[in-house]
Amino acid sequence: MQSIMGSLTVCVFLLSLCAGVLSCELKSSEKVISQRASLETYIKEKKPSIGNQYRLLYHVAPPVGWMNDPNGFSYFKGQFHLFYQFYPYNSSLSPAASIHWGHSTSANLIDWTEQPTALIPDEEQIFSGSAIEISGTLVLMYTAHINPAIAGQNATELQYLAFSNDGIVFNKYKNNPVISRSPNGSPDFRDPKVWKYGDYYYVVLGSRTDQGLGRVLLYRSQDMASWTFLSVVGQPSSRMGYMWECPDFFELGGKYILLMSPQGIIAEGDRYKNLYQTGYIIGDFNYQNHEFVERVPFQEIDYGHDFYATQTAERDGKRYLIAWFGMWNTTFPESAEGWAGAMTIFRELTLRGDRILMRPVSTINSLRESSAFNGDLIQNAAIQLNKTGELNVSGNLSQAIDLDIKGSEGGGVRIRWNATSKIVSVDRDGDVRQGPWTPVGSTSWRIFLDASSMELFCGEGEVVFSSRAYPTGHWVVTNLSAQSLSVSAFRLRKSV
């Protein structure tokens, strides 16, 4: 009976949601339609002027302007949907920029089609959020960041809804906000990630304590409109920074994963060297008392220079992940071309012991266009690629491995394996990231190159590096090791 009543409650809510939008003044509807048409015309006219030296060929990137966090990663009516933080009018982001939600769709997580901009700001900047299908409707839940001039105080963050029957045209809920403040009134209260369990909808949000420590808050609702605060997920501590952004919470391999992007963690040797981190805590969770018990403390999920603000989605029993392929307070050379920011390739997650493994989705093999090399690459020998490439590299791990991956005219990275310390490192123009690797099973490297990016997957995904890299000319891969390496290399096709 409770399940039936819950379904009826949601149906009534969706009807009221539609009625709320349809009851808006006609002038407001005409304004939204005009804004959408004007923006799509602007994008269409701007695209021919966008430069392509660093334009990625198989990573999702903005058609024009700026991109950051992935949002609303979901599956709806036969398509994966990926939304993202989008500012179409400039390739750099200022505090005054009015953030939109861009939108792309794919049937296979590889071939992506650009869709019209999903959400356009009114009084609010449209910060990050998530998506869920309810009775054939795609519902978006996002943070509305209201600036001080409108809020009449410090900037305020509220939780809004929008919906679509076709997954393309979205309308905002007339009775927004659905959550108007954090339990302690903190103005930092953002990035809702929503899911359903049993008869209830749940959402986690990033926020801060009164002492200025990051934390994640858990809420519950029967109808997506009225929410009740339940608990704090994860224990704040001074070593874990002042804000936890972009939280995600899901079950994987019989454990619960709290995945988030903390701000303010202090670097410890080779750990936490980026301005902000992304990582996870493994624990147990009870839906009866809403308590999350930590079993394995926070650890980074990616060791590269450019990886932040992850989102996951589950489909057919598999958990997929996407992240912003960037980092705050860094240089984006592509900005000079009229665009900036991108997404990583999509990864599948599994849990082995106390570590999440990240592997490229299996459909990525469909990108292979032609073979560039297959055999033993002797010392100082090189492989010539074009703007893209996939490398599968194996060697004797009791000896050092040293790969120089550079543009034919400069720019790129150098990847090394230290057989003594068991450390993998990625050196980008002297800026080094390192991660300890203890291979279990596969001992090969899988490397993906695009026009301005490099992603390295070690073994079965125990250690992963995601780094933007900016070659001049085409990619050239040179074996600087004292040993020969077994290498298969492929040129990859365009898919975005």
pLDDT of residue 32: 82
Residue of 69, 188, 223, 306 marked catalytic: 69
Q: Which residues pair with 465 in a beta bridge?
A: 456
CA distance to 322, 339, 370, 387, 450, per residue, from 492 (Å): 20, 22, 7, 9, 9
Contacts of 280 (CB under 8 A, 6+ apart): 257, 258, 259, 260, 298, 299, 301, 356
CB–CB of 434/423 below 8 Å? yes
Read off the pLDDT band of 8 (50, 70, 90): very low
Read off the pLDDT band of 421 (50, 70, 90): very high
The one-letter amino acid at 193: K
Segment 243-268 shows an average pLDDT of 98
Q: With 80 as the cut, is the pLDDT of residue 227 above it?
A: yes
Segment 476-496 shows an average pLDDT of 99
Comparing C-alpha atoms, which of 107, 51, 117, 46 is closest to residue 79? 107
CB–CB of 189/143 below 8 Å? yes
**N-term to C-term CA, the chain:** 47
Half-sphere exposure of 359 (CA within 13 A, CB side): 15
State yes or no: cis peptide before 177, omega within 30 of 0.
Answer: yes
Least confident of 16-30, 113-127, 478-492: 16-30
Read off the pLDDT band of 153 (50, 70, 90): low
Q: What letter would DSSP give residue 34?
A: H
Percent of the chain clearing pLDDT 90 (strictly above):
87
Longest dimension (CA), the chain: 73
CA 128 – CA 304 distance, rounded (Å): 23
pTM of structure: 0.94
Segment 129-151 shows an average pLDDT of 90
Active-site annotation holds for 69:
yes
Which structural domains are found in the chain, ordered by start?
A: 2-360 (2.115.10.20), 364-492 (2.60.120.560)
Q: With 70 as the cut, is the pLDDT of residue 5 above it?
A: no
Q: With 80 as the cut, is the pLDDT of residue 267 above it?
A: yes
Average pLDDT, the chain: 94
Q: With 70 as the cut, is the pLDDT of residue 7 above it?
A: no
The pairing of strands 112-114 and 100-106 is antiparallel
CA 429 – CA 413 distance, rounded (Å): 7
pLDDT of residue 4: 44
Burial of 398 (0-12, 13-18, 19+ CB in 10 A): exposed
Q: With 90 as the cut, is the pLDDT of residue 3 above it?
A: no
pLDDT of residue 15: 52
Structure tokens at 30: 């005409």
CB–CB of 86/70 below 8 Å? no
Residue 364 gets the label, from left (phi > 0), alpha (psi -120 to 50) or beta, of alpha
